[in-house]
Structure 1
Amino acid sequence: MNDQTIPHVGIVTYRPQHKDRLIAKWYSNELDSGEIGTGVAIGPTDDGFPGIYHITYHLADGTELGNYDLEITQQGDAYQLTWRSPTGIAYRGIGILMGTGLVAGYRRVDE
């Protein structure tokens, strides 16, 4: 399998920083640097992770990469994640709780 056939996949963690704010750390197979990106999600955290957030992601050097509306829904002990851009669904993922954080794998959606 060559790099042309590997889909855009990644991993992300979300940890509460304070009320209504999550901090993200993420990595994707599209990055060649091996450096971890960051993000800040703003949204209601009263019920834990489920909810709709507005998130801004940054590369490791601080360059803004993008903004999304992130919806997190809980299904039993697992979580479904959907990232939306102005043009529609951009990514989907699944995750589980690890300590005080949410860890998820994700994949780009080609629509």
Structure 2
Amino acid sequence: MPDTEKAVFLQIQNSKKPDQIISVIMSDSDAHFKTQGLKGFFDLEEIWIERNEFLVSMEEYAMLLSFLLETMSAAQDLNLPYSYMENFEHKGQRYTLIVRDGHRVLKKKGQL
């Protein structure tokens, strides 16, 4: 019987390492989407994005998650430590990535 509480909404594949795929999971019980796979590949906290914000800017967030996946992978290949930046910019847009309850909450700057 399928798990109706959580459904894979999107999968993002590393273009340089096709075996590295993370999923974006939609949870019926919470108002967010979350990544699944970052902990397994890189031992990093999973990322949560508020549901309404993700749906409004889905392509933008998919491209951002792809960028983060590939930078994490590149750091791993070079045996360099990788850590999230709480404030950063990508393609002219500023974001925050704040620790909350064992995961990271990703938001566009100004939506705190």
TM-score, normalization: structure 1?
A: 0.35
Q: Which has the higher strand share?
A: 1
Q: Which has the higher helix share?
A: 2
